[in-house]
Amino acid sequence: MRRYIIVMFLAIGLFQSCKENSNGVRNENAGGALGTSYSIISITPDKLDLQQDIDSVFAVINHSLSTYIPESDISRINNGDSTVVVDKMFREVFKLSKSIHQETNGFFDPTVGTLVNAWGFGPEQKISMDSLKIDSLLNFVGLDKITLDASNHLIKTNPNIYLDFNAIAKGYSIDRLAAMLDAKGIDNYLIEVGGELVAKGKNTIKNKSWVVGIDDPEMQVNRSSKILINLNDKALASSGNYRKFRIDEETGKKFVHTVNPKTGYTQLSNTLAVTILADNCATADAYATAFMAMNIDDAFRLISENDSLEAYIIYLDENGETQEYLTQGFKALVVE
């Protein structure tokens, strides 16, 4: 649900440095996009200038899915324009969101943006929240209240429903960047956008896997990696509620960025951070968000039932002690 983006991404460690040699040439592109930073390393036989292609991917993503751009398709839809014909990217994100919404029993819900904005984490103006207002806003929450017709128009049961794909769009943008590199025949690359990652092949210059670090959620000032993993032909996304929060000026109460779409309240939980490995980054991104919104036991159950996901969860037990949960597939990738 980010878009809020809900700026809720874990920073994933620095890429391993490498030098040009006979095993390939290192191309590196870095900059700002989607309200965050990106870094792309690719290794090719000859030097390539990929910047224009990268900029083009971000441009079409923004035009379709950015809630921070008034002229984007999703912003026009949110503002009541029913004439918008959504493009292929929008349709792919919408259909994947529908699927994950169902698989997570509604904990992944891109319509939670109405509540996100109201709590002060989105692009709209914050309103004063109480139980009556939350109950009222919940009438506008539920991805089942939006459908896509045969002519690729979105149909809402209520025009005030606010659609926000930021909890999946960042991961999807990485998948589109990967598709662009694949189309150019590039077999070895590491893409990072706002802490989400996709790796393909390996670092052929060093003849080793791509190695990335996952933040320690208990290091509030000086960031450090909790663990390092080999990322091989997989996508990784992380979510956490320990850095991005708002303090109410009157009460001093801390509100974290994850909003529970079932209750309407910001989520207070013992889950510190979730990292998900999946075949594509949009899927990893969405599940990482959903697991932060649900009870830790429900997250454990869902992970055990889904063979396509690997997970690393840092949480507090009933005694307030930090614990780690790693699936077997995730554990196998940890650098000892």
Q: Which CATH class is domain 25-331?
A: alpha beta
Locate the domains of the chain by residue range: 25-331
pLDDT at 318 over 50: yes
d(CA 331, CA 214): 13
End-to-end Cα distance, the chain: 33
Q: Find the range with the poorest average confidence among 59-68, 83-92, 124-133, 208-217.
A: 124-133
pLDDT digit string, tens, across residues 35-84: 899 999 999 999 999 999 999 999 999 999 999 999 999 999 999 999 99
d(CA 309, CA 195): 18
pTM: 0.85
For 95-113, what is the mean pLDDT? 94
Dihedral (Cα; 12, 178, 95, 264), 10-degree rounding = 20
d(CA 207, CA 197): 20
For the chain, count helices (H), then strands (E). 9, 14
Provide the pLDDT for residue 14.
38
249 or 11, which is more confident: 249
d(CA 85, CA 184): 29
